[in-house]
Chains A and B, each alone.
Chain A
Amino acid sequence: MATEGFKAASEGWFSLEGPEDDVVVSSSITLSRNVEGVPFSGRMGSRESDSLLESVYGAVKDLTGSGYSYYDINSLKIAERQILAERGYLKPVIAFERPQTILIKEDEEAAAVFNGAEHLSIKSIKSGLAFRDAYNCCNALDNFFDERLNFAFSPEIGYLTSDLTTAGTGMTGSVMLFLPGARRLGKIEEMLTKIIRMGFQVRGFFEDSKSKDESFSLGDGYIINNQFSSGKSEEQFIECLEEAANNAVRFERDCRDFLIRRERLKIEDEIFRAKGILQNNRTITAAEAIQHLSAFKLGKYYNLTGNDITYSTLNCLLLKIQKYHIKNSNRESGLLDEDAARAKYIRNILFPKDYFFKGFFNV
């Protein structure tokens, strides 16, 4: 059932509404598994890697007709691969040493990458704070493969993985938080330190946006994930992640409420400027767009944006204005350069009724 040519789904988890999505952009669960008797990725030869993919293919065949597609990653076009990377399923690498494959459900409810850093990594991403949902999707796929492949497992340690930090449950949970209020109040470090003390790792949302000031992240987006997969059961990990995320949500909302009382003029100014740019821009880079969208989203919280755009639309935009998504959605018209296409895309989504402001060349 190897399918040619990846078609990025235009609807998926990112277009759905989720719990607490004014603060939580998305939550995801990854399960790492390895097949018994096959060396792990670091010590694998090409023969072993081929036979692994063969046995994977034997299992995947049983999924025919259930809405899954199976791709050989190396035979995908670079643009298609980059879209998968931007959606968070692959590492943004141009070429892979060994053959890798990906199994992905049409609605992107769950996906699995084979022969990556681990033999299998099953991933599910959900809108908003929805770890349980994501875990259930992963678990169903894990059960399916458990019946067809033998996983490397020790009753003492748990699932054995190449990376020591994922040994045990093999589970990594991560949550993307949007924290503009805490950052503007200068409380972000206090909050992140608390989260790190709970045993989590924190990093910026857009990894290539490194800034000198470590507590600043482009678009005020932060990703939190558990550092180790041992020492707790899946259930306990999920509880801890939910607790950390819920604390962050409460803290962030308090910050936002306090901020608007203290500096209404300054905040309103920033939000309306951002709105002005998003409504009227004709060319915009991804970094600039993310910054203004972030301010616009804060404005939505204060009911200042003046239209019926939902949080999920705004969260979805953060994903879809990335380089290869824009290139992909612009393939048909094919006229504009990336930044101009992005500007048009944003205007169309946020202000679809603004015919009046269409430019001279109708871009």
Chain B
Amino acid sequence: MKCDICGNSPVLIHIQQITGKEEINIHICEKCAKEKGLNPGRKGFPLNIGSLIKNFEEIKRAVEEKDNRRVCPRCGQTFEEFKKSGSAGCEECYDAFRKYIISFLRKNAGWRGYDGKFPRKANILRYRVKNRDSLKSRLARAVERERYEEAAFLRDRLRFVEKQIERDGN
């Protein structure tokens, strides 16, 4: 995993903020942490909590700025433009901004996976089986790490895709 601010160095500090239903995860490297004013704590404790609280807003802003500069490699639309207009420039935007799109659809439209019509040429069953296997391992990992909210969502998606496979397989 690479740092969310500079994008180069390996991550040292993971920060998670939960406000109501919203969850923000930030991962930063040692160098960026120092630059943003995070100090090591006393008695060998890696982080001084006071400095985190003081500087958290700025860290969030830095991560967001970096996010906004992300660009779709095909059509050149930036993430900032995309968020503002809500319209994709090409099909690859859906890959480039996948995380945001999924969370947008999940929050607003109750997305758990696609269950509609598909083009004749799409091999949907193979995708679903692959998707089921990846969801299974992600679910196991989430449970192991005690991330129960994420696990609940993954479990819903897993059930959904299992039902689809069962329905289409017969």
Contacts and interface: CB of A to CB of B under 8 A. Distances in A.
Contacts of A152: 91
Contacts of A42: 85, 87, 89
Main DSSP-derived SS at the B contact region: loop
Interface string B126-153: 0110010000000000000000000000
Interface stretch (B23-31, B39-47, B111-119): B111-119
A150 B117 contact: no
A168 B109 contact: yes
Interface stretch (A87-95, A158-166, A340-348): A158-166
Interface stretch (A77-85, A225-233, A262-270, A300-308): A225-233
A160 B128 CA distance: 18
Nearest to B121: A150
A156 B131 contact: yes
A139 B86 CA distance: 27
Contact of A39 (B75, B101, B104, B108): B75
Given A43-B75, A168-B109, A230-B109, A158 B87 contact: no
A272 interface: no
B25 to A, nearest CB: 21
Nearest to A43: B89
Contacts of B53: none
A31 B77 CA distance: 25
B105 interface: yes
Contact of B89 (A39, A142, A151, A168): A39
B87 A163 contact: yes
Nearest to A142: B117
Contacts of B109: 168, 227-231
B15 to A, nearest CB: 28
Contacts of B131: 155-156
A231 B122 contact: no
B114 A168 contact: yes
B55 to A, nearest CB: 33
A333 interface: no
A34 B87 CA distance: 13
B86, B104, B109: which has the most chain A beta carbons within 10 Å?
Answer: B109
Nearest to B115: A233
B128 A234 contact: no
B105 A151 contact: no
A147, A157, A171: which has the most chain B beta carbons within 10 Å?
Answer: A157
Interface of A: 34, 36-40, 42-43, 139, 142-143, 146-147, 150-165, 167-169, 171, 227-234, 236
16 contacts: A37-B91, A39-B89, A39-B90, A43-B89, A151-B119, A154-B91, A156-B102, A157-B102, A157-B111, A158-B114, A159-B116, A163-B86, A228-B108, A228-B109, A231-B109, A231-B111
Q: Which 3 A-B pairs have the closest CB atoms?
A: A228-B109, A43-B89, A169-B116
Interface of B: 74-77, 85-91, 94, 101-102, 104-105, 108-122, 124, 127-128, 131
Given A39-B89, A155-B127, A162-B87, 17 more contacts: A34-B91, A38-B90, A43-B76, A142-B117, A153-B119, A155-B124, A163-B87, A164-B104, A167-B101, A168-B114, A227-B109, A228-B109, A229-B109, A230-B109, A230-B110, A231-B109, A232-B116
